[in-house]
Copies of this chain bind each other. A is one copy, B any other.
């Protein structure tokens, strides 16, 4: 058995083995991971880049390009590939991860597909903690790639220092109506597959939508690229660097600290609800039986738990 302090030291020294083990503990929500994360939190040195957007946008190809870019300056690069793991089979799919194989033999590139097997905070909690591990181990940037265009993106945008929203022409006009909402998630909007038909139309559309953003908000930059053939990538790297200069290291740290706190509060609450159920209903099963027999609605149960919590706090104050 290695001590917590020993694990923390090994992770900070960049031991691949210690990192891999810690990532697994984090993903599984092991109780001892809290102490490890507590020790790693203040040692973080990296910045995080989110890459998000609808399926088919070419995110993995772009991430591959980013790895090459940061490796050329000898940065170590961590990639957290957040696949929506199947809620029923518990399996996380590897899918397009395979495309990153060009970096598979580079020891300074660490790619991890994340699931959320036992983590109380679900996928975003597991991703947040994994990012802390990577960052304390010296990986910079930590790239967080998500597949999808739902709530996950919003959460990634919160986790990452800079988020790229990758869009692509030809996903149908339904996408257009949705993009207006999701657009604000990106610090940089990347229009990929710039050689495709419809790219001008997409750019006009994106720019028109950005016009509608409240004037108090920073407008994201829009950059055209072709991740496949490398076109426009220099402009994209410059845009990222410009943004990184705008936010100080201090600001980044603070933002991440508050996000982490919020996630942890959520998890604490979840834990607590279960305990309240134990006290008030003799466990979840009994509460469920009451509800299924029609003797109480779930809303009534919720109200009773809240009242019990109130009492407990008043009691504690005496």
Q: Which of A104-112, A198-206, A292-300 lies at the binding interface? A: A292-300
A185 adjacent to chain B (CB < 8 Å): yes
Are A260 and B298 in contact, with the CB atoms below 8 A?
yes
Chain A residues within CB distance 8 Å of chain B: 34-35, 37-38, 41-42, 54-60, 83-89, 91-93, 95-96, 122-123, 146-154, 157, 168, 170-175, 177-178, 180-182, 184-185, 213-214, 217, 254, 257-258, 260-261, 263-277, 279, 287-288, 291-292, 294, 297-303, 305-306, 309, 312-313, 315-317
In the complex, what residues of B have CB within 8 A of residue A302's CB? 34, 261, 264-265, 267-268
Chain B's closest residue to A155 (CB) is B151
> Shortest Cβ distance from A80 into chain B, in angstroms?
16
- Whether A254 contacts B292 in the complex (CB less than 8 A), given A148-B178, A150-B153, comes out as yes
In the complex, what residues of B have CB within 8 A of residue A261's CB? 287-288, 291, 298, 301-302
- Whether A178 contacts B268 in the complex (CB less than 8 A), given A154-B84, A275-B313, A303-B34, comes out as no
Are A177 and B309 in contact, with the CB atoms below 8 A?
no
In the complex, what residues of B have CB within 8 A of residue A260's CB? 297-299
Copies in the complex: 2
In the complex, what residues of B have CB within 8 A of residue A93's CB? 177-178, 180-181
In the complex, what residues of B have CB within 8 A of residue A292's CB? 254, 257-258
In the complex, what residues of B have CB within 8 A of residue A172's CB? 55-58, 168
Q: At the interface, is chain A mostly helix, strand, loop or mixed?
A: helix
| CB-contact partner of A316 in B184, B254, B279, under 8 A | B279
| CB-contact partner of A309 in B58, B275, B303, under 8 A | B275
| CB-contact partner of A151 in B35, B54, B152, under 8 A | B152
- Whether A151 contacts B149 in the complex (CB less than 8 A), given A56-B175, A88-B184, comes out as no
> Shortest Cβ distance from A67 into chain B, in angstroms?
18
Of the listed residues A38, A154, A266, A299, the one surrounded by the most CB atoms of chain B closer than 10 A to its CB is: A299
In the complex, what residues of B have CB within 8 A of residue A287's CB? 261
Of the listed residues A85, A87, A93, the one surrounded by the most CB atoms of chain B closer than 10 A to its CB is: A87
| CB-contact partner of A87 in B148, B149, B185, under 8 A | B185
Are A305 and B268 in contact, with the CB atoms below 8 A?
yes
In the complex, what residues of B have CB within 8 A of residue A214's CB? 89
A316 to B292 Cα, complex, angstroms: 28
A53 to B172 Cα, complex, angstroms: 13
